[in-house]
Amino acid sequence: MDIKITKTNQPKIKPTDESNLGFGRTYTDHMFIMRYNKEKGWHEPQIKPFEYISISPASPVLHYGQAIFEGLKAYRNLNDPDGIRLFRPDKNCERMNNSADRLCMPPVDKEIQLEAIKRLIDVERDWVPKSPGTSLYIRPFMISDGEGLGAFAASEYIFAIICSPSGLYFKNGLAPVKIHVERQYVRAVKGGMGFAKTAGNYACSFRATYDAAERGYDQVLWLDGRENKYVEEVGAMNMMFVIDGKITTAELNGSILPGVTRDSVIALAESLGYELDVRRISIDEIVEAHKSGRLTEAFGTGTAAVISPVGEFEYDGKTMMLNDNKVGPVAAHLYDELTGIQLGNKEDKFGWIHEVPRY
Ligand SMILES: *Cc1c(COP(=O)(O)O)cnc(C)c1O
């Protein structure tokens, strides 16, 4: 792919205080962008200074919501600070195309996406923060473009990638979160677009999340949209439960987002000798396992936090405390192993790491 690269002559000042980066608040100097139309397909890939995207007020994305995205991170190798690494970026590129297909958007060849990410990160290498636990968050996304108020899929599209230095997710190490089990609202239904990483799924989730936040909960746990009975996932994380010592998680059923972290934790846990149980899990079973002391831990998995232990669930007005609101041994072990691979402290047995070349 021939990417035209235009570097900024007004580089921004990089954050000096890496302890206060937060998440997604500042952006690097450059972005990747390319456009699609029916005649030319994807064309004119460019890396250029970060700037506003101009679209028509009649652009279909503003009215009908064809918008999908991905999220992954670039890390500095702890043993070689010049080495910049990506964790399973190929999985994100695949998922982008699965989301595109669901929303009738054109796929972007996986190799082209990968090259676009690597080239952009190469240009922005100095933006990858150095402090432990920090990373450069990478946000590829696609929106429909052009003009037309007719309610059908657009014929023009924009694919872009932006980056944002991001801080340590938990300032004081792994910290357990409080989760409300949602009964009134649902996030997705089988046959809908729950498996796609699309803007609409987030718009759909805010009401319940804000209501729960007002009552002191960090996140909501979604139940299935048909029977309101089976546990699905949390906010932007998949969910795992340790029941009778087995790591138990919901099977992918079309309404759950297939997390790269979920997939990695399953493979890693198996290789470390844990028993895995991937199946439908009802909320009644969770309540029962908690009551009888067989539910010892629960944790979310996702790119942002990697592993996020749960200290408390609230369901139907009743509180279930887990592991004394402390980080459990399984969550801590998996967190160490997975971040060890990401940061270059542990052997990458699975071939998950992609080094960012110097082009
Ligand atoms: C992104 C996301 C996840 C986690 O996926 P990862 O690839 O592990 O980051 C889980 N659930 C939802 C709804 C998401 O959007």
Nearest residue (CA) to ligand 1, atom 10: 237
Please report, in angstroms and rounded to a whole number, the separation of the first and last CA atoms in the chain: 13
Q: 49 and 113 in contact (C-beta within 8 Å)?
A: no
Write down the residue that tokens 């004081």 correspond to: 172
pLDDT 10s digits, 185-200:
999 999 999 999 999 9
Distance (angstroms) between ligand 1 centre and the Cα of 155 equals 28
Residue environment code for 323-351, b if the CB has 16+ CB neighbours within 10 A, otherwise e: beeebbebbbebbebbbebbbbeeeeeee
pLDDT (mean) for 268-284: 98
pLDDT at 174 over 80: no
Predicted pLDDT of residue 298: 97
pLDDT band at 175 (very low <50, low <70, confident <90, very high): confident
Cα gap 178→217, rounded to integer Å: 5
Predicted pLDDT of residue 171: 64
Q: Which of 149, 141, 140 lies closest to 56 in space, CA to CA?
A: 149
**How far, rounded to the nearest angstrom, does the alpha carbon of residue 178 sit from its chain's CA centroid?**
20
Cα gap 299→322, rounded to integer Å: 10
pLDDT (mean) for 55-83: 95
**Amino acid type, 280:** R
Q: Ligand 1, residues 91, 92, 187, 197: which to mutate, most atoms within 8 A of Cβ?
A: 197
Q: 278 and 262 in contact (C-beta within 8 Å)?
A: no
pLDDT 10s digits, 141-171:
999 999 999 999 999 999 999 999 998 776 6
Cα gap 75→344, rounded to integer Å: 9
pLDDT (mean) for 127-152: 95
Q: Ligand 1, residues 94, 96, 238: which to mutate, most atoms within 8 A of Cβ?
A: 238
Q: Which of 305, 141, 332, 328 lies closest to 236 in space, CA to CA?
A: 305
Shortest-distance atom of ligand 1 to CA 301: 8
Per the model's pLDDT, the better-predicted residue between 301 and 78 turns out to be 301
Tokens of 210: 């804000």
Nearest residue (CA) to ligand 1, atom 1: 236
Distance (angstroms) between ligand 1 centre and the Cα of 300 equals 10
Residues within a 6 A CB radius of ligand 1 = 71, 197, 233, 236-238, 257, 259-262, 301-303
